[in-house]
Amino acid sequence: MSVADAAPVTGLSSEHLGQVAITGITITPVAFADPPLLNTVGVHEPFALRAIVQVHTDAGVTGLGETYGDAGHLQRLHLAAEALTGADVFNINRMRQAVARALAADTVQGGHGMSGMVTGSSTADRVLSPFDVAALDIQGKLLGRPVSDLLGGAVRDSVAFSGYLFYKWATHPGFEPDPWGPALDPDGIVAQARTMVDGYGFSALKLKGGVFAPDQEVAAIKALREEFPDLPLRLDPNAAWTVETSIKVGKELDGVLEYLEDPTPGIEGMAEVRANVPMPLATNMCVVSFNDVPPAIAAGAVDVILSDHHFWGGLRRSQTLAGLTETFGLGLSMHSNSHLGISLAAMVHLAAATPNLDYACDTHWPWKKGDEDIVAPGALTFTDGAVAVPTAPGLGVELDADNLEKLHRQYLDCGLTSRDDTGYMQRIDPDYTLESPRW
């Protein structure tokens, strides 16, 4: 079947067979309500920021991407967008070269929205990501095929996610309480997990640790084990512990955790912990770019890498990472940050088309308000903790223009321009200090 034959949805015309050129890119920063979720660098601010990317083409088809919304990242996205005008959406390799060239003289200051939790990821890959996703969305729409088909084909019809538990306050100071209530001890965490499991059907649970002393977090994990005897459990203190503390906790949780995620900073420290604890070690902190893979493997630092298309360079480069983990006998899971529906759709297509991604993926999805999204409802729903892989062309999600406008206005009104969990915590508690490792 020729490409022209395979274009029932949008009618790819023969004049576009050679090239589908980018005619313009719209980048819209948005803010959506976020509860006071605690982590080892502070607390989430009342709004999470994202950038929504719309790539327009001379085929009349627009593709969608979603990424971090921090000021520095936005500036880099604009530099890249300028360089991508005229590029062929069927040649993502050349798009990557154009982005790298545009960023070569990058003097932009400022973070990327991952709040110091992820260090050293490749800037070019981080900036390329939403354009890669949008290009695949366009390709899929033109060909009448879902993005998972363009990634080699779905090997599963739905993608399982884990319930992502956070210690949290009842409310942001000065705001209305959110429906979740506080979770500041093992009972609070178990109650939160119960709500999440009953509401979404998750079949694995991850606790964001590094907030309280390790003994209290061990107690929370043991309480979860008692309440949910059959669910795989993960604990992620975001490198808040020394090597010694990590080994002590690892031994205490022998037989309880599916994996222990980033107990301590750096490849060397992780390797020492790994040699002394019984469970697999996972990371989204010490292996965050292709440059980190060889030293981590040489040191024997990790068992599982958490991929994340937002900083591994999009969907296709995330599959390159999957090839490496398969080759070297490592496990592959998926990391998340606060996100909206375009990101969820991209995560689902990627996970569906990555055979060796067989852990339940992370998602912050339950933490956003149900009606706050920039995609039209219906395409992405959780059943038994999993999201069915969209079968419509491209990502299978449609932009909701009214909500995009509303969340953009919220971005303008909220006054936030970068994620700053530590600064926000210090405004509430001036004695709060950042320490790594903390225990």
Ligand X SMILES: O=C([O-])[C@@H](O)[C@@H](O)[C@H](O)[C@@H](O)C(=O)[O-]
* Residues that are catalytic: 208, 335
244/249 Cα distance (integer angstroms): 9
Instruction: Compute the least distance from the CB of residue 376 to Mg ion, in Å.
Output: 31
CB 114 to ligand X: min, Å: 6
User: For residue 158, what are the contacts with CB-CB under 8 A and spacing of at least 6?
Assistant: 352, 383, 386, 387, 388, 389
Query: Which residues in the 6-35 window bind ligand X by CB under 6 A?
Result: none
The interface region with ligand X, picked from 109-117, 272-280, 291-299, 386-394 by CB under 6 A, is 109-117
SS3 225: helix
Q: Is 117 in the site for ligand X (CB under 6 A)?
A: yes
In the list Mg ion, ligand X, none, the entry touching 316 (Cβ below 5 to 8 angstroms by class) is none
Residues 398-437 that bind ligand X (CB under 6 A): none
d(Cα 284, Cα 294) in Å, to the nearest integer? 15
Please identify, using beta-carbon distances, which residue of 284 and 325 lies nearer to Mg ion: 284
Measured CA to CA, the distance from residue 335 to residue 308 in angstroms comes to: 5
Long-range contacts of 92-96 (CB under 8 A, 24+ apart): 92/132, 92/135, 92/136, 92/314, 92/316, 95/128, 95/131, 95/132, 95/135, 96/124, 96/128, 96/132, 96/313
Q: Which of 236, 272, 308, 420 binds Mg ion (CB under 5 A)?
A: 236
# of chain residues touching Mg ion (CB under 5 A)? 3
The span from the CA of 33 to the CA of 36, in Å, is: 10
Please report how close the Cβ of residue 251 comes to ligand X at its closest, in angstroms: 23
Nearest approach, Cβ of 202 to ligand X (angstroms)?
15
Cα 407-413-415 angle, rounded to 5 deg: 110
Give the residue with the Cβ less far from Mg ion, 56 or 364.
364
Task: Output b/e per residue, 408-432; b: 16+ Cβ within 10 A.
Answer: bebbeeeebbbbbbbebbbeeeeeb
Q: How far is the CB of 42 from Mg ion (least distance, A)?
A: 16
Q: Which does residue 245 touch among Mg ion, ligand X, none (CB within 5 to 8 A, set by kind)?
A: none
Q: Is 226 helix (H, G, I), strand (E, B) or coil?
A: helix
Give whichever of 16 and 364 is closer to Mg ion, judged by the CB atom. Answer: 364
User: Using the rule CB under 6 A, which residue among 122, 238, 319, 418 binds ligand X?
Assistant: 238
Segment contacting ligand X by CB under 6 A, of 17-25, 68-76, 114-122, 172-180:
114-122
In the structure encoding, which two tokens stand for residue 176, read together? Answer: 């209305």
We find the least distance from the C-beta atom of residue 118 to Mg ion, in angstroms, to be: 8
Considering only 25, 87, 114, 288, the residue that binds ligand X (CB under 6 A) is 114
- Given candidates 129, 337, 354, 422, which one binds ligand X under the rule CB under 6 A? 337
Q: Judged by CB under 6 A, does residue 37 bind ligand X?
A: yes
Quote the CA–CA distance of 397 and 278 in Å, as a whole number: 42
The span from the CA of 439 to the CA of 434, in Å, is 12
Among 139, 162, 284, 354, indicate the residue that binds Mg ion (CB under 5 A).
Answer: 284
Q: Which is nearer to ligand X, 40 or 139 (CB)?
A: 40
